[in-house]
Amino acid sequence: MTHEADNNKTNELSPGFSIYQFKKWLDENESGLPTLNLNKIETDVDKTLGSPVYPKVSDSKILERMDDMNGAKKEVFLTEFKSAATVLKSYGKRVTVLTESGTFSIPRFCVNIEKGK
């Protein structure tokens, strides 16, 4: 197969437009299909924001998994985390915990978040 034949085969398999051009075509097309809003700003409010949070795993596992610390030492965070801490932000598989001394990030599986603030 020649180089030109390879290019023709590739062009046959590739769409000739981007997802945004496809969206525009769908929006202009009066086919009764729902419109796509690709520029939608995510407005999903974190329902765990401000909820009390407690350790779910051992102290050593908590100390091992703490990241992005803003404030005191890990041991101080751990003490405050066990007594009074709240969720500052929850994203994917991580949670940012707010304590009196500052904030830290930890995997979600390491914490118990109280439901219904």
CB contact at 8 A, 81 and 58: no
Domain ranges of the chain: 1-40, 53-113
Length of the chain: 117
Mean pLDDT of 56-83: 87
pLDDT value of position 70:
78
Mean pLDDT of 97-107: 91
pLDDT value of position 58:
93
Q: What is the pLDDT of residues 4-51, one digit of tens each?
A: 555 555 555 566 777 777 777 767 766 666 655 656 555 445 678 888
CA angle 56–75–111, rounded 5-degree value: 15
Q: What is the mean pLDDT of the chain?
A: 77
